[in-house]
Amino acid sequence: MTEHPTNVQFSVKSWAEVTYDGRIARDVTGAKATVSDIVYVYKGAIVGEGVLKYLMHYRETGTVVYTGLEVITGSVDGREGGFTFLHNGIVDEAGVVVGTLEIIPGSGHGGLTGISGKATIRIIGHQESYPMDFTYSFDQ
């Protein structure tokens, strides 16, 4: 298996976030737990869309801990199919997002059957698109 390190850009197509009791998350201050439904658009080695559900906990300190599952549909370097990322990360006191993503073993399908890999993100501030360091390989 040859690993392919590459860069990917993603942008937010949609983001809806509510607290566990159904209130609009941005209207609730302080500590809260939320559920987010997000759609990302990918360009670069990954081309396509990801449908993501985050579970997030906002602390009184302003930091955030999150986890989620993202189903990617599209292509990786021209191979069409899909796979699922497991997300884990934090938002620190300065608002910097640091996250790790791992392709769930066995989640690849279509032309992406046998894909494995991981990614990291570090986001400072709001931008039109965000960078992601992505390394992947295929077992076939």
pLDDT score, position 89: 98
Mean pLDDT, range 24-36, rounded to an integer: 95
Mean pLDDT, range 43-72, rounded to an integer: 97
Integer Cα distance of 59 and 105 in angstroms: 32
pLDDT score, position 140: 63
pLDDT score, position 6: 87
- 127 Cβ contact partners less than 8 Å away, ≥ 6 residues apart: none
| Mean per-residue pLDDT of the chain | 95
Quick one: how many helices (H) and strands (E) in the chain? Answer: 0, 9
Integer Cα distance of 100 and 133 in angstroms: 10
Integer Cα distance of 107 and 112 in angstroms: 9
What DSSP line would sit under 125-136, residue for residue?
Answer: S--SSEEEEEEE
* Residue that has been written with the tokens 């021209």 in this structure: 78
What is the pTM (predicted TM-score) of this model? 0.93
Query: 1, exposed or middle or buried, with CB in 10 Å at 0-12, 13-18, 19+?
Result: exposed
If pLDDT is split at 50, 70 and 90, which confidence band does 1 have?
A: low
Integer Cα distance of 26 and 116 in angstroms: 35
Domains defined along the chain, listed by start: 4-138 (2.40.350.10)
Integer Cα distance of 40 and 135 in angstroms: 19
